[in-house]
Amino acid sequence: MTATGPLPAGEALRALLSPRAIAVLGASDDPVKIGGRPLAFLLRHGYRGRLFPVNPARATVQGLPAFPSLDAIPEAVDLAIVVVPAERVLEALEAAAAKGVRVAIVFSSGFAEVGDAGRREQARMGDLARRTGLRVIGPNCQGFAHLPSRLIATFASPFLDETLHVGPIAMVSQSGAMAGMLYEMAREAGLGFNYWVSTGNEADVQAAEILAEVVEDPDTRVALCYVEDIKDAGRFREALNRAHRRGVPVFILKSGRSAEGRRAASSHTGALAGEDQVYEAAFREWGAIRAADPADLLHLPQAFLRYREAGPRVAILSNSGGLGVLSVDLCVDLGLTPAVFTDETTAGLRAALPGFAPAQNPVDLTAQVLSDPGLLMRVLPLLEADPGVDVIVFQIALFGAATDVGRVAREVATVAGRTTKVVAASCPQRRVVEAFRQAGVLAFDDPTVALRSLACLARTTRLRPRWLARTSGAVAPPSGAPEIFRARASAEDFLSEWESRRLLEPFGLPLVQSALCADPDAAAHAAERLGYPVVVKICSADLPHKSEAGGVALGVTDAAAVAAACRRIRRRVAERAPGAAVEGFLVQRQAAGALELALGVTADPVFGPVVLVGAGGILVEALRDFRLLLPPVDGAAAEEALRALRIGPLWDGVRGGAPLDLAAAADLVMRLGEAARVLTGLVAEIDLNPVLVGPRGEGVVVLDALVRLVHAEGAH
């Protein structure tokens, strides 16, 4: 066989997933050393492809014939594992590319995580990959494992264990140690892996690309990711889209939520993550489920391992009244609905339960269940039959030694096996959890974890259609620079308000009625046409902050006052900003509304344009009451963001007043999202502040609009 040319990215990665021949560059004879482990693991766990240790100092390595160099290997090699010192990595990769290797995994550290010199070296690695088509995983990674095929191409410590824990989880992590930790935690919880991948610094291959491949494997039931940054938002989104189409939920643990954490992440894998809130928006809208910590990353998926969907209405069954009450609290906290039973169910419960147990949700089996083993199977079918119940959760405080746990588990399994509802149990006692799992019942070792996971399943069930619908909305390139960009000889950073309006007008934003006037007389005429009171403002690209420059007069009520206001503004601006190029005076109808919003667009280096939806007004702005959205913004997302603000209750009316025009506000947010999308790469910032919202049917109006262009060259 001879070397093949570069493959399309996906195809090369698929070669990683099932290589026929693997070379280890820098292979050590010591199976415990980092350089010895990959070979030791592949041999011990029974990998069936061909293995070629490369080590110029030895004739054999761990019993296999060794080769002095990669090109001395007489066969084609699909995967090269690189365990040489940092300064020799590039040379090894060149050799691998020359040999026609498709994928190289670089364990070596000493790149972007150590500073600028390392960062440059890593950039050369990326260049090499793009130039040659060799796909590079790492550097500073712990490698890759596909457990069903025994392909353990890693030095990670968990694989020192004799047994491989194979299962439905695909894990992709930028941190190898974190991935190892999760492997150990999963094992303790009785869970196993399909794929286990560490991508390290990501000179070339990104976690998102691996994710896009592993979700295609029918043995993958859930995907878990640990990331410190996302380098290419488009690839990440495409990976999520694939996962949604395959019905594979993606759970993400992202560190760097705090500024301190981001600094630390940058030192760890060289990650340069932006504001966490933009990630939060991307996860929410594109459908990645965010976990709070490593335990959560294993807790949330558990319901998904047994069920594909769930409704929100939960019947709680417990042998502890207290645990039942707590479970109801937790349901409410988690957005689940404690089910309200039908009269038939209630009557049935009354007949089935002892007199002192209330016939309602939560169902308290009381200590009676100890002395009356038939009780459970008189109660469970009632919940099964109730049309208002989607999920049945049996929260077991504990079972004493006298309880026949096997029998209870089999009874619950009988119901779980025949109903379309979700049936789950929890108990802190390991033997009880194991009995339920053996009987085929979804079982948790903690009542809160059970409800968290079920709430996550119910939420995903509700949102998945929306996530799927959004997959079509891939970001399009801007549809040509609008006229405003051509009109300007050189792009200043800020546009004037008038220019900003002209740029945004084609998107149909409800901008307040305005006239641009050359002098005080023209302004007075314009005011007569608009009707009083009016607002008079200076119009200048050099004065983005008009008020501070003395360039605004509010509540002007007749023509003479308008002219006087213009002259006063002109005088003050001449004093405070003598060099400013003035376009004229803007005269606008003064408007009032029940609620102020502040909307905006910023440009994120990774995710591109980001729409900000916030509460406005002096007092409310201090609350930092805002949400971010990624365009394109659909109506559901816009409305949800507006409702999710802390001021959300006001949409239904301020102090018993009329409801506000949420639909009009949502329409404006969608249009702003469209502007942000079309102007991607041209506009650095848009501010619509204030936006006044009127009562339902009376619409919204944008009182001020400010656009900052992408600096200089970028604007043409």
The interface with a second copy within residues 252-271 (CB under 8 A) comprises: 253, 255-258, 260-261, 264-265, 267-269
Site for a second copy in 17-46 (CB under 8 A): 32-34
Beta carbon of residue 640, minimum distance to a second copy (angstroms, whole number): 18
> Rule CB under 8 A: is residue 419 a binding residue for a second copy?
no
- Residue 240 CA to residue 246 CA, distance in Å, equals 10
Beta carbon of residue 463, minimum distance to a second copy (angstroms, whole number): 23
Segment interacting with a second copy, rule: CB under 8 A, options 13-21, 440-448, 539-547, 556-564: 440-448
The DSSP annotation for 118-158 comes to HHHHHHHHHHHHHHH--EEE-SS--EEEETTTTEEEE--GG
Q: Indicate the residue among 98 and 367 with the shorter CB distance to a second copy.
A: 367
Angle at 584 between CA 582 and CA 588, to 5 degrees: 130
Q: Indicate the residue among 338 and 694 with the shorter CB distance to a second copy.
A: 338
Q: Indicate the residue among 108 and 540 with the shorter CB distance to a second copy.
A: 108
Q: Indicate the residue among 430 and 571 with the shorter CB distance to a second copy.
A: 430
Other beta carbons within 10 Å of 468? 14
Which residue shows structure tokens 């290997």? 73
Q: Indicate the residue among 41 and 236 with the shorter CB distance to a second copy.
A: 41
| Residue 6 CA to its chain's centroid (Å) | 32
Beta carbon of residue 231, minimum distance to a second copy (angstroms, whole number): 16
Which residue of 4, 69, 157, 461 would you call a contact of a second copy, by CB under 8 A?
A: 157
Over the window 320 to 349, marking each residue x when it contacts a second copy by CB under 8 A and - when it does not, the resulting string is xxxxxxx-xxxxxx----x-----------
- Residue 501 CA to residue 518 CA, distance in Å, equals 17
Q: Indicate the residue among 400 and 477 with the shorter CB distance to a second copy.
A: 400
Site for a second copy in 90-129 (CB under 8 A): 109-110, 113-114, 118
Over the window 363 to 382, marking each residue x when it contacts a second copy by CB under 8 A and - when it does not, the resulting string is -x-xx--xx-----------
Other beta carbons within 10 Å of 249? 24
Q: Indicate the residue among 352 and 595 with the shorter CB distance to a second copy.
A: 595
Site for a second copy in 578-597 (CB under 8 A): 595
Longest dimension (CA), the chain: 99
Q: Indicate the residue among 241 and 689 with the shorter CB distance to a second copy.
A: 689
Which residue of 429, 461, 471, 590 would you call a contact of a second copy, by CB under 8 A?
A: 429
- Residue 80 CA to residue 57 CA, distance in Å, equals 19
Other beta carbons within 10 Å of 116? 8
> Rule CB under 8 A: is residue 655 a binding residue for a second copy?
yes
- Residue 559 CA to residue 566 CA, distance in Å, equals 11
Q: Parallel, antiparallel, or unpaired for β 626-629 and 683-693?
A: unpaired
Other beta carbons within 10 Å of 188? 8
Rounded alpha-carbon distances, angstroms, from residue 614 to 221, 551, 596:
38, 25, 9
Segment interacting with a second copy, rule: CB under 8 A, options 209-217, 279-287, 358-366, 675-683: 358-366
Which residue of 57, 402, 489, 592 would you call a contact of a second copy, by CB under 8 A?
A: 402
Q: Indicate the residue among 203 and 328 with the shorter CB distance to a second copy.
A: 328
> Rule CB under 8 A: is residue 180 a binding residue for a second copy?
yes
- Residue 430 CA to residue 435 CA, distance in Å, equals 9
- Residue 416 CA to residue 394 CA, distance in Å, equals 11
Beta carbon of residue 203, minimum distance to a second copy (angstroms, whole number): 15
Q: Indicate the residue among 101 and 359 with the shorter CB distance to a second copy.
A: 359
Q: Indicate the residue among 427 and 683 with the shorter CB distance to a second copy.
A: 427
Which residue of 3, 72, 98, 177 would you call a contact of a second copy, by CB under 8 A?
A: 177
User: Residue 702, CB half-sphere, CA atoms under 13 Å: how many?
Assistant: 27
Which residue shows structure tokens 């199977």? 377
Which residue of 74, 218, 400, 578 would you call a contact of a second copy, by CB under 8 A?
A: 400
> Rule CB under 8 A: is residue 158 a binding residue for a second copy?
yes
- Residue 90 CA to residue 106 CA, distance in Å, equals 10
- Residue 178 CA to residue 189 CA, distance in Å, equals 16
> Rule CB under 8 A: is residue 184 a binding residue for a second copy?
yes
Q: Indicate the residue among 64 and 114 with the shorter CB distance to a second copy.
A: 114
Site for a second copy in 607-646 (CB under 8 A): 617-624, 646
Residues in the chain: 716
> Rule CB under 8 A: is residue 218 a binding residue for a second copy?
no
Q: Indicate the residue among 73 and 642 with the shorter CB distance to a second copy.
A: 642
Which residue of 218, 355, 480, 579 would you call a contact of a second copy, by CB under 8 A?
A: 355
User: Residue 160, CB half-sphere, CA atoms under 13 Å: how many?
Assistant: 11
Question: What residues contact 485, with CB distance under 8 A and at least 6 apart?
Answer: 491, 682, 709, 715, 716
Segment interacting with a second copy, rule: CB under 8 A, options 55-63, 203-211, 442-450, 601-609: 442-450
Beta carbon of residue 280, minimum distance to a second copy (angstroms, whole number): 13
Angle between helices 207-214 and 233-246 (to 10 degrees): 10
3-class DSSP state of 349: helix
> Rule CB under 8 A: is residue 226 a binding residue for a second copy?
yes
- Residue 354 CA to residue 202 CA, distance in Å, equals 62
184 backbone dihedrals φ, ψ, rounded to 5°? -65, -40
Beta carbon of residue 278, minimum distance to a second copy (angstroms, whole number): 16
Site size toward a second copy (CB under 8 A) is 96
Other beta carbons within 10 Å of 334? 18
